[in-house]
Amino acid sequence: MSLLAINSRSVSDVVILDLSGRFSVVDDSLRELVNSHLSEGRRNFLLNLAGVSYLGTWGINQIISIWTSIRNRGGAMGLVGLVDRVREVFVITNLITVLPIYGDETEALRHLFK
């Protein structure tokens, strides 16, 4: 059983994935969902991590893998809603300088997917 819940919704041509729970177990559901959207021709993704209370190594690896897959298909991905504990993981790993991170959904949609 997964400890990570995923809700998918669309705003214009952007797939927004609202994640909640602990992103720490070996679970490919996020990668599978993104790959499914990619195979349908979707290219722009926004991961909303506001509901994620913990981000472990597995979660970081999945985010990097997903970001790479999206970029390889000419798409874009951003992150929004990082709680302090999760933001700290991105700072420590220096991914905060690699992945686009936004303060809120409106800002992300305005800047990342213009």
Least confident stretch, 19-23, 33-37, 38-42, 86-90: 19-23
Coil, strand, or helix at residue 44? strand
More confident position, 111 or 98: 98
pLDDT surpassing 70 at residue 90 = yes
With contact defined as beta carbons under 8 Å apart, do 51 and 18 qualify?
Answer: yes
31-55: pLDDT as tens digits: 999 999 999 999 999 999 999 988 8
Using pLDDT thresholds of 50, 70 and 90, give the confidence band for residue 1. very low
Please say whether the dihedral angle defined by the alpha carbons of residues 88, 60, 23 and 99, taken in this order, is positive or negative.
positive
What the chain holds in terms of domains, given with CATH numbers, is 4-111 (3.30.750.24)
50-70: pLDDT as tens digits: 999 888 888 899 999 999 999
Give the closest residue to 45 by CA, choosing from 81, 90, 94, 11.
11
Residues contacting residue 27 through CB under 8 Å, at least 6 positions apart: 2, 3, 4, 58
Beta partners for residue 79, in sequence order: 47, 101
Q: CA 27 to CA 111: how far, in whole Å?
A: 31
Residue-level pLDDT at 23? 78
pLDDT surpassing 70 at residue 19 = yes
